[in-house]
């Protein structure tokens, strides 16, 4: 078979493996290759409608740059290019980097580029993902956004609508499967019309981090989003009884993340099981009273919590806990609390990752006592009562933070060389181990050829080894 008879589909598969800069070279060699590589070269479009100056003022560059931007829009929205676009990012210009010589100033028509973009947006017939930052959404913008039948993911960060623009959503539908919206939590404008646009039968992932006016003033009119499997939301826990009316609109969530502020009110601590199929919870410990009763909860990730508070919440659960994965960030810790944690959640625990951050300046301990915290913890680790027998992956890290000069000790426990053998004897299914004492570090794991281990016995080597933790943990 000669090269001229190679099917275009095969060339396309070959070209998909090339870096973008090589694709450009290939596209210039032959008319056929130019046509084949076009869908690969123009899959993503970056658009900059204006620059945001002091006090939120919208600025444009000199007219010559605006004209060039308009020409660029004409090119990307042309019949030859537009169908190839699969993703689009709309972010303001930054008056730095390659535009450092540009001069941005106020304009009587700051939306001139954005208006053209939204007027012609429907030409991106294959657009699947769109990310926007600090964008004005007018009626035309929302209407044409809803015309994008292939759009599956929409992420909106910091948004607004002109004061004189009334949004009509009665005849438009946004059939995305993943929707993210982030705005100033204290902003009065939550753009309630967004929730009216979303299709309950298509939405699978929702991330809401803005004023809950997003849901409108009449929660009862909001449909039930029974297909949403992933929900991430920011709440004022002090008005949780009101927020529960929102959360009940998402009964089949499997992965849930809740962040916020305030304390959970007593009236909302026992509302029954809100999410009967919830398997994973991530973020704040405050709503745990709502989370822990979920019968299928398996994975729990809590950021920046007090071990005493967490243990109290775990002990308050009347039924059994079936947690298999636990990831925790603590502000203090000791072996007694670790034993209590293993006792209450250890029966089914397959993976445990603990990060303990000690604020040295706020500690009541003297410097010598602080130096011994990590070492003494690891020395007693293997003798922990109720250590989970089914444990497969264990990672424990200690970090010491101080505004003053403070060098944590790098003297490792005497039993570090035998610790992995001792732990495997107690946890026969153990596959990986990461023990980080800030100034010393030990990691071990099973491999196809047996076992591999590494010990860093000084601060510099530990810091260098620590860079590979993400890959180490991902390999579990």
The pLDDT value given to residue 418 = 82
On the CB side of 133, CA atoms within 13 Å amount to: 11
Whether residue 236 contacts residue 261, with contact meaning beta carbons closer than 8 Å, is answered with yes
Averaged pLDDT score across all residues of the chain: 84
According to DSSP, the residues that pair with 244 across neighbouring strands are: none
How many other CB atoms sit within 10 Å of the CB of residue 339? 17
| pLDDT mean over 225-236 | 93
The pLDDT value given to residue 269 = 57
* CA–CA distance, 79 with 96 (Å, rounded to integer): 33
| pLDDT mean over 385-394 | 93
Task: Encode pLDDT of 324-355 as tens digits.
Answer: 999 999 988 999 999 999 999 988 999 999 99
The pLDDT value given to residue 184 = 65
Answer whether residue 4 shows pLDDT above 60.
no
Answer whether residue 190 shows pLDDT above 90.
no
* CA–CA distance, 272 with 288 (Å, rounded to integer): 13
The pLDDT value given to residue 392 = 96
* CA–CA distance, 364 with 355 (Å, rounded to integer): 20
Report strand pairing: 51-52 vs 230-236.
Answer: unpaired
Answer whether residue 1 shows pLDDT above 50.
no
The pLDDT value given to residue 86 = 93
Bigger pLDDT: 404 vs 378: 378
Query: Alpha helix (H) ranges present in 111-250?
Result: 112-119, 139-145, 193-197, 240-247
- Strand, helix or coil for residue 165: coil
E runs forming strands in 216-369: 230-236, 255-261, 280-283, 299-305, 325-330, 351-359
DSSP 331-354: S---HHHHHHHHHHHGGG--EEEE
The pLDDT value given to residue 15 = 54
- Write the DSSP symbol of residue 327: E
Bigger pLDDT: 33 vs 246: 246
The encoded tokens of residue 434 equal: 């990461």
The residue assigned the tokens 């003053």 is 404
The pLDDT value given to residue 238 = 82
Task: Encode pLDDT of 94-153 as tens digits.
Answer: 866 555 678 888 888 999 999 999 999 999 999 999 999 999 888 889 899 999 999 999
Answer whether residue 371 shows pLDDT above 60.
yes
Answer whether residue 162 shows pLDDT above 70.
no
Residue 32: enclosing H or E segment and its boundaries?
Answer: helix 31-41
The residue assigned the tokens 């299709």 is 199
* CA–CA distance, 149 with 194 (Å, rounded to integer): 17
Residue 311 pLDDT level (bands cut at 50, 70, 90): very high
| pLDDT mean over 416-440 | 90
Q: Which residues of 61-92 are buried (b: 16+ CB within 10 A; e: fewer)?
A: beeebbeebeeebeebbeeebbbbbbbbebbb
The encoded tokens of residue 229 equal: 């499997």
Residues 6+ away with beta carbon under 8 Å from 371: 408, 409
The pLDDT value given to residue 40 = 60
Bigger pLDDT: 140 vs 404: 140
Surface-to-core class of residue 362, CB atoms within 10 Å of its CB (0-12 exposed, 13-18 middle, 19+ buried) = exposed
The pLDDT value given to residue 79 = 92
- Nearest 5 degrees, angle CA 326-CA 425-CA 355? 30
Q: Which residues of 12-28 are buried (b: 16+ CB within 10 A; e: fewer)?
A: eeebeeeeeeebeebbe
Tell which residue, 224, 221, 176, 174, has the closest CA to residue 203.
176
The pLDDT value given to residue 80 = 86
Answer whether residue 18 shows pLDDT above 60.
no
Residue 192 pLDDT level (bands cut at 50, 70, 90): low
Residue 395: enclosing H or E segment and its boundaries?
Answer: strand 393-401
Task: Encode pLDDT of 51-64 as tens digits.
Answer: 988 888 899 999 99
Bigger pLDDT: 186 vs 5: 5
The pLDDT value given to residue 154 = 97
On the CB side of 72, CA atoms within 13 Å amount to: 14
The pLDDT value given to residue 263 = 81
* CA–CA distance, 195 with 315 (Å, rounded to integer): 38
* CA–CA distance, 321 with 96 (Å, rounded to integer): 53
* CA–CA distance, 74 with 116 (Å, rounded to integer): 9
On the CB side of 328, CA atoms within 13 Å amount to: 26
Answer whether residue 3 shows pLDDT above 60.
no
Residue 169 pLDDT level (bands cut at 50, 70, 90): low
The pLDDT value given to residue 426 = 92
Bigger pLDDT: 448 vs 105: 105
Whether residue 304 contacts residue 331, with contact meaning beta carbons closer than 8 Å, is answered with yes
Answer whether residue 403 shows pLDDT above 50.
yes
The pLDDT value given to residue 289 = 87
Bigger pLDDT: 12 vs 83: 83
């Amino acid at each position: 078979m000669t090269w001229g008879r190679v099917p275009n589909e095969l060339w396309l598969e070959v070209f998909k493996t090339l870096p973008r800069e090589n694709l450009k070279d290939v596209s210039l060699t032959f008319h056929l290759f130019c046509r084949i590589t076009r869908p690969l070269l123009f899959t993503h479009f970056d658009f900059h409608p204006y620059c945001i100056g002091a006090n939120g003022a919208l600025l444009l560059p000199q007219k010559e740059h605006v004209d060039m931007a308009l020409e660029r829009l004409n090119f990307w929205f042309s019949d030859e290019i537009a169908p190839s676009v699969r993703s689009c990012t709309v972010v303001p210009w930054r008056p730095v980097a390659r535009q450092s010589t540009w001069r941005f100033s106020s304009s009587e028509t700051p939306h001139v580029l954005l208006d053209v973009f939204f007027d012609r947006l429907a030409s991106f017939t294959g657009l699947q993902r769109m990310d926007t930052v600090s964008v004005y959404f007018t009626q035309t913008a929302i209407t044409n956004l809803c015309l994008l039948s292939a759009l599956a993911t929409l992420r909106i960060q910091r948004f607004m609508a002109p004061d004189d623009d009334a949004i009509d959503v009665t005849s438009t539908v946004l059939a995305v499967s993943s929707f993210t919206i982030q705005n100033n939590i204290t902003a009065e404008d939550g753009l309630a019309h967004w929730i009216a646009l979303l299709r309950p039968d298509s939405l699978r992932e929702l991330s809401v981090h803005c004023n809950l006016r997003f849901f409108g003033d009449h929660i009862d009119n909001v449909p039930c989003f029974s297909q949403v499997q992933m929900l991430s939301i920011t709440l004022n826990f002090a008005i949780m009884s009101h927020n529960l009316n929102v959360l009940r609109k998402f009964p089949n969530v499997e992965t849930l993340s809740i962040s916020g502020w305030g304390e959970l009110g007593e009236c909302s601590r026992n509302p029954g099981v809100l999410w009967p199929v919830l398997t994973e919870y991530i973020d704040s410990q405050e709503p745990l009273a709502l989370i822990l009763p979920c019968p299928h909860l398996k994975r729990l990730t809590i950021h920046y919590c007090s071990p005493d508070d967490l243990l109290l919440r775990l002990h308050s659960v009347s039924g059994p806990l079936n947690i298999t994965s636990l990831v925790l960030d603590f502000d203090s810790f000791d072996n007694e609390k670790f034993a209590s944690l293993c006792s209450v959640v250890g029966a089914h625990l397959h993976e445990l990752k603990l990060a303990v951050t000690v604020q040295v300046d706020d500690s009541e301990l003297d410097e010598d006592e602080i130096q011994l915290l990590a070492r003494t913890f690891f020395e007693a680790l293997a003798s922990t009562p109720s250590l989970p027998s089914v444990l497969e992956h264990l990672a424990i890290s200690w970090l010491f933070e101080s505004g003053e000069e403070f060098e944590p000790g790098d003297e490792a426990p005497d039993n570090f060389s035998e610790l992995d053998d001792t732990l495997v004897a107690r946890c026969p299914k153990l596959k990986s181990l990461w023990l980080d004492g800030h100034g010393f570090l030990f990691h071990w794991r099973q491999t196809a050829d047996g076992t591999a281990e590494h010990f860093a016995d000084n601060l510099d080597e530990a810091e260098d080894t620590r860079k590979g933790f993400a890959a180490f943990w991902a390999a579990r």
